[in-house]
């Protein structure tokens, strides 16, 4: 009897041990790997001067780890945001893609969707209600398309940044009387030119002026569906009157001497603007703090693109912008729920407010006001915030892979008159046809 | 010879052969793994529509046909051949510098280090340096305007001819030191008495360089030229990336830069990138054969 009892006790103890060990195994530490680009991302321009542990994102990960015992988050800084998509693909094929990657939204993400886990089934409903930009992450921008991730961490807006002193010197007041038509805009630039200052400086070797401003005119006249249809080869860029008219005006700005002569190759356009040698430059709001630091808070203004056609069918009184970034979960991730939990945490109101302490931007959350962000009424940041619902989505994120590269490459040639708009459009058509195959 | 001695010699020969094979086997295996495998892999992928992920369908020679029919590919080839101009210039300057240093002109130790300095600077930094130097408001335009050679600033990097010229200049500047060091290695094998005799016979500097030194180091020159040609086709990426980004348009894009564009930017077409790589390999092989034949005939002449 004793023997039976002893055996029973031993068996019971073994069972307890097995259960205990199994429990321990279940509580095994979980690790998330996250790729974040080194710039224009959660890592602000000023933060790069600090040690990595002082960055907002490093601290946010620590807070997430604290809130989720047993979870560790590893930050991998991607040096080249443009090449990150291909690196992500290569890692996905090798089975080593990170759990979460901060990439670019729209076509950039759709181009790698084979490596991205759709998150329709795990995204919290609260986030769907409180965040903006979901349409840029849905397959082919369709409302019922698969959801490939969260839109990036900010609504980035593009404007002409302008130097108020230089503009006033030309007898203009863009605050009270901004040019709202291209005719008014030309007249203003002519006045600035006569003061001996370069009206607009840009470096179109990557076509900033075109992508931050000029595409607005294309969008105004042709609309997003036509642009997408051109990309997919259903219609022709060469027959797209909006595109051709936009390119004509884009080239005319350079031809009339309103844009720096070396715009196709300039290496110092931003420095020139910051040094007060040029009146306007196309820029994103992410770098507004640099302009304010260089020129003074009272000396920096923002100007939305003028209307190319007051009766344009698709948009008026808007800027170019949107949620250009994307946070995606890779198919390699063993913990997709946890990965989404991390993205959701980063998108929360508390974390967004923390991030705002390091960068000035328009938040992706609907429940954060300009006052919450501490933007003074009448300030340049307040004006930026007033465009939070008035923007057209980045056209280069609508252009399909391949077409967009050709667009970047050939655009400067159109600006300086070395390629006609028609020839440019035909080159895009050829690329669209090639990609279709 | 007795059969026993013959057998022993055969055994020794076989043992030596076996030892030789075993000695080089590791290197051969490593070379096969890191050279042959990627080439075979690229050749296989060049006939597919591989997108870097899971799409990799056989498309025959469509990638090659599209490349060869398109204007862009020929622009890239043109650019590479124009940039080859850097090779004769850097070889010529490298030779001159090497002979000067070999003859221990005044300050030769200092100049030997000075000429080599560009070699230890990152190509990306050199690219940015030249981009700044040749910008519209850069030092080159300022100097040219001050001395009255060019009153109006020139957009050096905005025009095809001048942009390619700047790249050639940049490549020459960064490589002359390397050429000089290589040639000095060759020159050190020539007895001093040869130069001494040439000097006594009244040969000036140029005759000593091109009629004494060059024929005696023709194999070294061949090596330097061959490496420089291959480098011009395969190693310019960091210069182009930092100097012009291949622009304006495709006007300064080279074949190796295009491989990067097709592989790593959003419109990824790795099948086409592999096709460009294979065509590049063929071009380099053809040039190497031509060059070796030319050098062989020179070498025969020198003998």
B87–chain A nearest CA distance, Å = 26
Do A232 and A176 lie in one domain? The reply is: yes
Please say whether the beta carbons of A75 and A58 come within 8 A: yes
The SS3 of residue A70 is coil
Q: What CA–CA distance (Å, rounded) separates A168 from A86?
A: 46
A9 has pLDDT over 70: no
Give yes or no for B135 touching A (CB within 8 A): yes
**Preferred mutation among A104, A105, A267 to probe B, highest tally of B CBs within 10 A:** A267
Do A237 and A130 lie in one domain? The reply is: no
Q: Indicate the pLDDT class of residue A14, thresholds 50, 70 and 90.
A: low
Yes or no, beta carbons of B265 and A205 under 8 Å apart: no
The CA-based angle A190-A192-A197, given to 5 degrees, is 120
Do A176 and A260 lie in one domain? The reply is: yes
Yes or no, beta carbons of B266 and A111 under 8 Å apart: yes
- Examine residue A63 and state whether it is found in any structural domain, yes or no: yes
Yes or no, beta carbons of A412 and B135 under 8 Å apart: no
Give yes or no for B264 touching A (CB within 8 A): yes
C-alpha dihedral sign at A400, A403, A406, A412 = negative
**Preferred mutation among A115, A409, A411 to probe B, highest tally of B CBs within 10 A:** A409
Q: At what angle do helices B123-133 and B160-187 cross, to 10 degrees?
A: 130
Nearest one of B292, B284, B252, B225 to B90, comparing CA atoms: B225
* A261, A401, A437 member nearest B268 (Cβ): A401
- Low-confidence winner among A34-43, A94-103, A198-207, B293-302 (lowest mean pLDDT): B293-302
Please report residues of A whose CB lies closer than 8 A to that of B261: 405
Q: Indicate the pLDDT class of residue B108, thresholds 50, 70 and 90.
A: confident
Do A199 and A315 lie in one domain? The reply is: yes
Q: Indicate the pLDDT class of residue B300, thresholds 50, 70 and 90.
A: low
> Considering only residues 222 to 241 of chain B, which have any Cβ-Cβ distance to chain A shorter than 8 Å?
none
Radius of gyration of chain A from its Cα atoms, rounded to whole angstroms? 25
**Mean pLDDT computed over every residue of chain B:** 90
Q: What CA–CA distance (Å, rounded) separates B120 from B122?
A: 6
* A93, A267, A431 member nearest B135 (Cβ): A267
Yes or no, beta carbons of A83 and B131 under 8 Å apart: no
Radius of gyration of chain B from its Cα atoms, rounded to whole angstroms? 25
Residues B119-143: tens digit of each pLDDT: 899 999 999 999 999 999 899 999 9
DSSP string, B55-93: ---B-TTHHHHHHHHSHHHHHHHHHHHHHTTHHHHHHHH
Give the residue-averaged pLDDT of B220-239.
93
Please report residues of B whose CB lies closer than 8 A to that of A262: 135-136, 155, 158
B303 has pLDDT over 60: no
| CATH 3.90.1170.50 correct for B70-302 | no
Alpha helices in A215-287, H assignment, sequence order: 215-231, 241-255, 269-274
Return the residue matching tokens 């190759």: A265
Q: How does DSSP classify residue A211? A: I
Do A303 and A332 lie in one domain? The reply is: no
Please report residues of B whose CB lies closer than 8 A to that of A423: none
Do A39 and A99 lie in one domain? The reply is: yes
**Mean pLDDT computed over every residue of chain A:** 90
Alpha helices in chain B, H assignment, sequence order: 3-31, 37-45, 62-69, 71-83, 86-102, 108-116, 123-133, 139-146, 160-187, 192-200, 205-207, 214-216, 218-234, 237-243, 255-264, 270-302
Give the residue-averaged pLDDT of B247-276.
88
- Examine residue A199 and state whether it is found in any structural domain, yes or no: yes
Please say whether the beta carbons of B53 and B268 come within 8 A: no
Please say whether the beta carbons of B229 and B86 come within 8 A: no
Give yes or no for B247 touching A (CB within 8 A): yes
Yes or no, beta carbons of A89 and B250 under 8 Å apart: no
Task: Give CA torsion, residues A360, A365, A368, A374, to 10 deg.
Answer: 0
Please say whether the beta carbons of A72 and A7 come within 8 A: no
Q: Number of Cβ pairs closer than 8 Å across A and B?
A: 102
Bridge partners of A326, per DSSP, are A103, A151
Neighbours of B282 (CB within 10 A): 9
A1 has pLDDT over 80: no
Give yes or no for A111 touching B (CB within 8 A): yes
Is A17 exposed, middle or buried (CB count within 10 Å of its CB: 0-12, 13-18, 19+)? exposed
Residue of A nearest to B152 (CA): A261
Residues B140-184: tens digit of each pLDDT: 999 999 998 888 889 999 999 999 999 999 999 999 999 999 999
> Considering only residues 43 to 72 of chain B, which have any Cβ-Cβ distance to chain A shorter than 8 Å?
49, 51-55, 62, 66
A73 has pLDDT over 60: yes
B52 has pLDDT over 70: yes
Domain ranges of chain B: 3-64, 70-302
* B62, B135, B266 member nearest A268 (Cβ): B135
Amino acid A342: pLDDT: 97
Amino acid A300: pLDDT: 95
* A206, A413, A435 member nearest B249 (Cβ): A413
Please report residues of B whose CB lies closer than 8 A to that of A406: 267
Q: Indicate the pLDDT class of residue B268, thresholds 50, 70 and 90.
A: confident
- Examine residue A276 and state whether it is found in any structural domain, yes or no: yes
Nearest one of B247, B58, B241, B51 to A401, comparing CA atoms: B51
B4 has pLDDT over 90: no
Nearest one of A149, A42, A43 to A100, comparing CA atoms: A149
Query: A100 is in which domain, residue-wise?
Result: 29-152+323-347
Do A123 and A181 lie in one domain? The reply is: no
* A89, A268, A413 member nearest B137 (Cβ): A268
Please say whether the beta carbons of A282 and A158 come within 8 A: yes
B50 has pLDDT over 90: no
Q: What CA–CA distance (Å, rounded) separates A153 from A362?
A: 10
C-alpha dihedral sign at A236, A238, A240, A246 = positive
- Low-confidence winner among A230-234, A314-318, A362-366, B122-126 (lowest mean pLDDT): A314-318
Chain Cα centroid distance, residue A246? 23
* B245, B249, B266 member nearest A108 (Cβ): B266
Comparison of pLDDT for B31 and A185, the residue scoring more: A185
Give yes or no for B246 touching A (CB within 8 A): yes
Do A50 and A80 lie in one domain? The reply is: yes
Yes or no, beta carbons of B247 and A265 under 8 Å apart: yes
- For chain A, the domain total comes to 2
A128–chain B nearest CA distance, Å = 28
User: For A215-238, b where at least 16 C-beta lie within 10 A, e where not — what string?
Assistant: bbbbbbbbbeebbbbbbebebbbb
Give yes or no for B137 touching A (CB within 8 A): yes
Return the residue matching tokens 């328009």: A362
Q: Quote the percentage of chain B above a pLDDT of 90.
A: 61
A329 has pLDDT over 90: yes
Written as six digits, the tokens of B85 are 């101009």
Yes or no, beta carbons of A265 and B52 under 8 Å apart: no
Amino acid A22: pLDDT: 52
Task: Give CA torsion, residues A228, A234, A238, A244, to 10 deg.
Answer: -30
Chain Cα centroid distance, residue A86? 17
Amino acid A281: pLDDT: 97
Q: Indicate the pLDDT class of residue A213, thresholds 50, 70 and 90.
A: very high
A16 has pLDDT over 70: no
- Low-confidence winner among A191-200, A317-326, A344-353, B110-119 (lowest mean pLDDT): B110-119
Amino acid A294: pLDDT: 94
- Low-confidence winner among A12-26, A186-200, B159-173, B242-256 (lowest mean pLDDT): A12-26
Please say whether the beta carbons of B52 and A89 come within 8 A: yes
- Examine residue A247 and state whether it is found in any structural domain, yes or no: yes
- Low-confidence winner among A18-32, A60-74, A384-398 (lowest mean pLDDT): A18-32
Please report residues of A whose CB lies closer than 8 A to that of B158: 262, 264-265, 416
Amino acid B299: pLDDT: 61
- Examine residue A18 and state whether it is found in any structural domain, yes or no: no
Please say whether the beta carbons of A291 and A271 come within 8 A: no
Do A176 and A254 lie in one domain? The reply is: yes
Amino acid B185: pLDDT: 92
Amino acid A254: pLDDT: 97
Comparison of pLDDT for A204 and A46, the residue scoring more: A204
B16–chain A nearest CA distance, Å = 43
B266–chain A nearest CA distance, Å = 5
Amino acid A86: pLDDT: 82
Q: Indicate the pLDDT class of residue A327, thresholds 50, 70 and 90.
A: very high
- Examine residue A15 and state whether it is found in any structural domain, yes or no: no
- Low-confidence winner among A309-313, B176-180, B223-227 (lowest mean pLDDT): A309-313
Tell me if the bond preceding A383 is cis, omega within 30° of 0. no
Do A310 and A331 lie in one domain? The reply is: no
Amino acid A3: pLDDT: 65
Give the residue-averaged pLDDT of A14-36.
68
Yes or no, beta carbons of A264 and B158 under 8 Å apart: yes
Please report residues of B whose CB lies closer than 8 A to that of A260: 136
Give yes or no for B139 touching A (CB within 8 A): no
- Examine residue A54 and state whether it is found in any structural domain, yes or no: yes
- Examine residue A23 and state whether it is found in any structural domain, yes or no: no
Bridge partners of A36, per DSSP, are A77
Q: Provide the CATH number for the domain around residue A101.
A: 3.40.190.10
Please report residues of A whose CB lies closer than 8 A to that of B268: 85-86, 89, 111, 401
Give the residue-averaged pLDDT of A356-360.
79
Calculate the alpha carbon distances from A68 to A63, A107, A119 in Å: 9, 33, 21
A164–chain B nearest CA distance, Å = 24
A430 has pLDDT over 80: yes
Do A37 and A165 lie in one domain? The reply is: no
The CA-based angle A423-A429-A430, given to 5 degrees, is 90
Q: Indicate the pLDDT class of residue A15, thresholds 50, 70 and 90.
A: low
Return the residue matching tokens 């008014």: A184
Give the residue-averaged pLDDT of A247-276.
95
**Preferred mutation among B62, B265, B275 to probe A, highest tally of A CBs within 10 A:** B265
Give the residue-averaged pLDDT of A116-136.
95
B237–chain A nearest CA distance, Å = 15
Amino acid B104: pLDDT: 85
Give the residue-averaged pLDDT of A9-23.
58
B54 has pLDDT over 80: no
Do A214 and A247 lie in one domain? The reply is: yes
Cβ-based neighbours of B129, under 8 Å, separated by 6 or more: none
């Amino acid at each position: 009897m004793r023997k039976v009892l002893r055996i029973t006790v031993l068996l019971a103890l073994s069972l307890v041990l097995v259960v205990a060990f199994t429990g321990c195994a279940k509580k095994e530490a979980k690790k998330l790997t996250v790729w974040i680009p080194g710039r224009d991302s959660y890592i602000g321009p000023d933060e790069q001067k600090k040690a990595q542990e002082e960055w907002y994102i490093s601290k946010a990960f620590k807070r997430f780890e604290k809130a989720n015992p047993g979870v560790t988050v590893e930050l991998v800084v991607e040096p080249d945001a443009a090449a990150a998509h291909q690196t992500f693909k290569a890692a996905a094929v090798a089975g080593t893609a990170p759990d979460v990657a901060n990439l670019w939204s729209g076509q950039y993400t759709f181009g790698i969707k084979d490596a991205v886990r759709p998150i329709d089934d795990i995204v919290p409903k609260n986030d769907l209600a409180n965040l903006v930009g979901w349409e840029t992450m849905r397959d082919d921008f369709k409302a019922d398309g698969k959801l490939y991730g969260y839109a990036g961490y900010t609504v980035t807006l593009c404007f002409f940044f302008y130097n108020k002193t230089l503009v006033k010197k030309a007898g203009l007041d863009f605050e009270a009387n901004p040019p709202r038509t291209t005719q008014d805009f030309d007249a203003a630039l002519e006045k600035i030119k006569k003061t001996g200052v370069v009206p607009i400086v840009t470096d179109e070797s990557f076509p900033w002026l075109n992508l931050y401003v000029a595409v607005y005119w294309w969008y105004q006249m042709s609309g997003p569906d036509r642009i997408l249809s051109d990309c997919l080869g259903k219609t022709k860029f060469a027959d797209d009157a909006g595109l051709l008219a936009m390119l004509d005006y884009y080239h005319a700005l350079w031809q009339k001497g309103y844009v720096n002569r070396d715009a196709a190759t300039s290496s110092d356009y931003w420095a020139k603007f910051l040094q007060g040698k040029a009146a306007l430059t196309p820029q994103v709001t992410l770098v507004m703090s640099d302009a304010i630091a260089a020129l003074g808070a009272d000396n920096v203004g923002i100007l939305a693109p003028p209307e190319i056609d007051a009766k344009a069918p698709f948009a008026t009184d808007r800027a170019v912008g949107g949620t250009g970034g994307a946070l995606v979960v890779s198919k390699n991730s063993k913990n997709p729920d946890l990965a989404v939990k991390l993205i959701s945490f980063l998108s929360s109101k508390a974390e967004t407010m923390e991030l705002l302490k390091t960068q000035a931007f328009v938040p992706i959350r609907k429940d954060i006001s300009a006052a919450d962000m501490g933007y003074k009424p009448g300030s340049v940041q307040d004006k930026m915030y007033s465009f939070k619902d008035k923007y057209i989505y980045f056209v280069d994120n609508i252009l399909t892979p391949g077409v967009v590269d050709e667009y970047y490459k050939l655009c400067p040639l159109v600006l300086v008159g070395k390629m006609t708009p028609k020839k440019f459009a035909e080159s895009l058509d050829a690329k669209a046809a090639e990609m279709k195959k | 010879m007795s059969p026993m001695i013959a057998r022993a010699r055969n055994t020794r020969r076989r043992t030596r052969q076996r030892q030789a094979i075993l000695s080089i086997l590791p290197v051969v295996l490593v070379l096969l793994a890191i050279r042959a495998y990627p080439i075979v892999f690229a050749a296989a992928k060049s006939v597919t529509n591989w997108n870097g992920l899971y799409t990799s369908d056989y498309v025959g020679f469509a990638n090659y046909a599209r490349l060869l029919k398109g204007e862009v590919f020929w622009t890239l080839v043109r650019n590479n051949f124009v940039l080859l101009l850097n090779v004769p210039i850097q070889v010529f300057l490298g030779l001159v510098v090497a002979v000067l240093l070999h003859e221990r002109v005044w300050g030769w130790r200092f100049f030997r280090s000075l000429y080599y300095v560009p070699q230890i600077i990152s190509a990306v930094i050199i690219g940015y340096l030249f981009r700044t130097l040749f910008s519209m408001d850069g030092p080159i335009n300022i100097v040219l305007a001050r001395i009255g050679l060019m009153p109006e600033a020139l957009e050096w990097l905005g025009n095809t001819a001048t942009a390619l010229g700047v790249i050639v200049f940049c490549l020459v500047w960064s490589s002359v030191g390397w050429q000089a060091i290589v040639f000095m290695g060759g020159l050190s094998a020539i007895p001093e008495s040869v130069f001494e005799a040439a000097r006594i016979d009244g040969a000036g500097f140029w005759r000593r360089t091109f009629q004494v030194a060059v024929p005696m180091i023709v194999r070294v020159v061949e090596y330097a030229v061959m490496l420089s040609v291959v480098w011009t086709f395969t190693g310019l990426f960091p210069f182009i990336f930092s100097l012009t980004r291949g622009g304006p348009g495709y006007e300064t894009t080279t074949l190796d830069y295009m491989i990067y564009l097709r592989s790593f930017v959003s419109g990824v077409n790795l099948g086409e990138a592999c096709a460009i790589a294979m065509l590049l390999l063929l071009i380099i092989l053809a040039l190497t054969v031509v060059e070796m034949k030319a050098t062989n005939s020179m070498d025969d002449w020198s003998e």
